[in-house]
Amino acid sequence: MEQSGCRPALGQFRFLAHELRLLTHGKSSRWLVLFFEPSAGVIISYRLDRCGYLLCGQIWTGLRVLFLPGFWFLRLLSCRHEICFKAAIGRGLQVWHPTLGVVVHGDAMVGKDCILYGGNSIGCRRGVRRGELVLGDNVTLGINACVLGPVRIGNRVTIGAGAVVVSSLADDVVAVGVPARPQA
């Protein structure tokens, strides 16, 4: 589990650098237009917000008001999204087509290399505590896929477009439908 303090907070900048490299697809010319892509703005605003929370703890909620103009500017470069700064998301977050909307609950714990294709919601059906809404490593959510906790999603799971996950999924599965069920 992530801890607050300087080292984890500064780790958000390493995560951000890695994620921006993923967005450029290894092409140096893409760095020129990267900051005008909505995906980059979403990831930058989440990582900066998360860094502030890890540095300041609970008082970050009040201090965010001081940084509001900066976050508004990032929203102009990207699009509306609600990725809570309390959500612990591992390295390698990719958000494709964020103009469809992305919502991540503050108690969500998401592993590394998560891919969100837009219109996604990672939230809850009832009160969820930290550790009850968990997505493993290498999880992909198709367009408009939703995960509604409390659930545990295993590693290397693909959730199909429009699927609604309301129960836990094991490792290495593809789940589709409403409610989502693993495919054979």
How far is Cα 108 from Cα 142, in angstroms, rounded to an integer? 18
Q: The whole model's pTM is what?
A: 0.89
Q: What is the pLDDT of residues 35-74, one digit of tens each?
A: 788 888 899 989 999 999 999 999 998 888 888 887 777 7
Q: At residue 79, what is the residue type?
A: C
Question: Domain of 98?
Answer: 6-182
Per-residue model confidence (pLDDT) at position 30: 87
Catalytic residue among 18, 25, 97, 105: 97
Does any domain span residue 103? yes
105 is catalytic: no
Query: How distant, in Å, are the alpha carbons of 21, 32, 36, 91, 178 from that of 169?
Result: 30, 40, 36, 22, 14
Question: Which of the four pLDDT bands, split at 50, 70 and 90, describes residue 5?
Answer: low
Does any domain span residue 1? no
pLDDT for 175 beyond 90: yes
Does any domain span residue 133? yes
Does any domain span residue 72? yes
Does any domain span residue 174? yes
Which CATH number goes with the domain that contains 36? 2.160.10.10
Whether the upstream peptide bond of residue 8 has omega within 30° of 0, thus cis, is: no
Q: What is the pLDDT of residues 95-116, one digit of tens each?
A: 999 889 999 999 999 999 999 9
Number of domains observed in the structure of the chain: 1
pLDDT for 143 beyond 90: yes
Does any domain span residue 104? yes
